[in-house]
Structure 1
């Protein structure tokens, strides 16, 4: 069993195909197939089931994938520690990001400083909903992720705080209010924006034993803002996720009582973090991000 075989197995599982994995790795499809076959023969189990152009993990394959990613993560940390001894001249950092708050508000402030300090570190960024970032951390697909705090099962580091605000069409009766309660947001069509705070919004209504009239589920904030601007629905979002330019088609109102949201970085286990990951966290915490 080699790290190369485990890397190929992990990538085939992620991309659900031999051809896609071969393209990503820059090797032939037959080389990918040979590596998987050799790994299965050595372990004596079927890891992947071939189904036409796609593959899926067997039950034992799903279990072993987590182990494989853990081993690959530790191997990456060893390489990073060696690179750190050489002045961190090379290495890889995989970052998970969600929504405008992290991808537009935070990353552009952190990355230029990080790249200037560590030009040899190759940075990969994956974007997805907040719950997707958590899954990527669990599966060891990323080294560090931006998350909405608290997240008890990870090691976390707070970065910024903002508040949740309701977005109301300009002509709506609630637009004249200084603040709004969750209950008042339950009487109109509601948009659940899944770009960054969907989990928090869902928990807020659930804790209050309220059920908003969810008519829209938008993966992008711009779609949410356009829907509110047309007067079709209300929504609840984090204030830092909103564009800096003033909008004339909707108003934002804080909740009563005020609901704060904290965004930070998370890793699966700080003790196993690579030097490149720890350097990113240290830099992010030292920068004035507010």
Structure 2
């Protein structure tokens, strides 16, 4: 068994195909097939079912994939520690990111400073839902990920505090109010986000013993905003996730603070900071430094 075989196995499983894995790895499709077949023969089990529509992990393949991620993560940490001794001139950093709050508001500024300091480190970014990022951290598919805090099962670093705001169609009666309560938002149709703020909203409504009239659910910000803009209902989202103006036209929705105010924290998480690679620690250190500068302003 080689680390190359494990990386090929992980890529085929992640991308659900030999061709995509070969393209991502920069090798031929036959090399991918040969390496995976050799790994299966050595392990004595079938890791992946091959069919016309693509590939699918077997039960034992899914079980061993998590072990492969662990081994690859530890291998990369060893390379990073060696690179750190040489001035961290090469290596790889894998980042998990979700939604506009992380991918558009936080990540670009952190990456700018990181690349200026460590130009030789290759950065790979996987974007998904907040729950996917959590799974990627647990499976060691990424070295560090953006998460909505708290997340007790990880070592975390706070990066920002964000206000939750009510989103109203431009012609909604509540737009004349300075702020809105959860109770008033429950009186009409509600659009429930199932993205990063979803669990927070569910806890919030439960704590205040309120029951929103949920007629629509959406895991995508653009869909939620579009439904509010078209007057299908009201919603609650994190202020940092919002674009500067409406998607369909300017002032197509109105945001209002909640009464009482509700905040959420976004930060970085790693499975075990003690085992994190030097590049991961450097990324977190830079991100934390930028957060401290913003607080000082």
Q: Secondary structure at the match of 2:125?
A: strand
Q: CA RMSD in A?
A: 1.9
- C-alpha change, 1:250 and 1:20, in structure 2 (3 Å) is closer
Whole-angstrom distance in 1 between the partners of 2:198 and 2:88: 37
Give the alignment of 1:145-184 within 5 angstroms.
Answer: 145-184=145-184
Contact persistence 1:106–1:289 (CA under 8 A): no
4+ residue segments displaced more than 4 Å: none
How many Å apart are 1:233 and its aligned residue? 1.3
Question: What corresponds to 1:6 in structure 2?
Answer: 6
- 2:262 is aligned with 1:284: no
Contact persistence 2:77–2:276 (CA under 8 A): yes
Give the TM-score taking structure 1 as reference length. 0.93
Moved more, 142-151 or 195-204: 195-204
Question: What corresponds to 1:99 in structure 2?
Answer: 99
How many Å apart are 1:45 and its aligned residue? 1.6
Question: What corresponds to 2:133 in structure 1?
Answer: 133
Q: Secondary structure at the match of 1:168?
A: strand
How many Å apart are 1:195 and its aligned residue? 4.5
- 2:273 is aligned with 1:270: yes
Question: What corresponds to 2:257 in structure 1?
Answer: 254
- 2:202 is aligned with 1:187: no
Q: Secondary structure at the match of 1:256?
A: coil
Contact persistence 2:161–2:264 (CA under 8 A): yes
How many Å apart are 1:197 and its aligned residue? 1.7
- C-alpha change, 1:135 and 1:260, in structure 2 (3 Å) is same
Contact persistence 2:245–2:251 (CA under 8 A): no
Whole-angstrom distance in 2 between the partners of 1:31 and 1:250: 53
Structure 2: which 5+ runs fail to align?
none
Give the alignment of 1:1-290 within 5 angstroms.
Answer: 1-244=1-244, 248-287=251-290, 288-289=293-294
Whole-angstrom distance in 2 between the partners of 1:239 and 1:96: 21
Whole-angstrom distance in 2 between the partners of 1:221 and 1:63: 33
